A = this chain, B = another copy of it.
C-alpha cells in the first residue's frame, strides 16, 4: 500500500466531514447553503473549502447524489422486506418508505425534487440514482405481470406515447406492456405529488390525518394499476 494513501485518506475524511456539516446546515437553515457558514463550523477559513469542492454547486451536487442514493436504498429496502407475491404490500411499502425518508430529510428532499436552483444543471451522474425509486415501483408491476397476478390494462395509447414508453420499457423492463408502464408512471407521479404537497405545506389546514390520507391515496393508484387486494 503506497504511503501516498495517507494523504488521500485524510482528504477523503475531510470531504466526508464537510458534507456532514453541510447536511446539518441544510437541515437547520434550509436550502440556501452557505459555504462560509460551513467553514466557520469547521473552524477553517472559507477559502480552504475550495481545496475540496471547486464550487458551492459541486458540494450541493455531492449532497444531492448521496441523497438520491439514500432515498433509493430506503425504497428498495422497504420493497425487499415484503413477500414478492404481495404486490399491493410491496407497493405500499415502497411508497411509505419514500414518504418516510422525505419527512425525515425534508431539506434534502427539497433539494432533489423542489424547484431546480437557477444556475444549477443536474449532472449526468444524478440521473441513474434518481431513477431508482420509480424503477422499484415499476419493478413491482413487472413481477406481478410475470406471475400472473397482474394483467396489462387494455388502454389504447396514442402512438407517440406508446413509442416513448416502449423505448423506456426496452431500456429497463423489456417486454413490459406500455399501458402498464404508463399507469406505473402515474403512480410514481402521484407519489411525488403527495409527498411534495405534504412537505411544502399544502395539506396544512386541510388534512390533519396525513398517514391515513397518504395510504388511501397511494391505494387509489394501486387500484388504477390493478394491483389485487
> Which A positions have Cβ atoms within 8 angstroms of B?
29-32, 110-111, 113-119, 122, 127, 130, 155, 157-158, 160-161, 163-164, 167-168, 182-183, 185-186, 189-190, 192-194, 196-197, 200-202, 205-209, 212-213, 215-217, 220-221, 223-224
Q: Are B118 and A115 in contact (CB under 8 A)?
A: no
**B-chain residues with CB within 8 Å of residue A160 when the two chains form the complex:** 208-209, 212-213
Across the two chains, which residue of chain B brings its CB closest to A208? B164
A225 to B176, CA, bound (A): 25
Across the two chains, which residue of chain B brings its CB closest to A30? B118
**B-chain residues with CB within 8 Å of residue A205 when the two chains form the complex:** 127
For the residues of A in contact with B, the DSSP-based class is helix
Count of this chain's copies in the oligomeric assembly = 2
A32 to B116, CA, bound (A): 11
Q: Are A212 and B122 in contact (CB under 8 A)?
A: no
Q: Are B197 and A192 in contact (CB under 8 A)?
A: yes
A31, A117, A220 interface centre (most CB from chain B within 10 Å) = A220
In the complex, 5 of the A-B residue pairs with CB atoms within 8 angstroms, ordered by the A residue number, are A31-B118, A113-B200, A127-B205, A185-B217, A223-B224
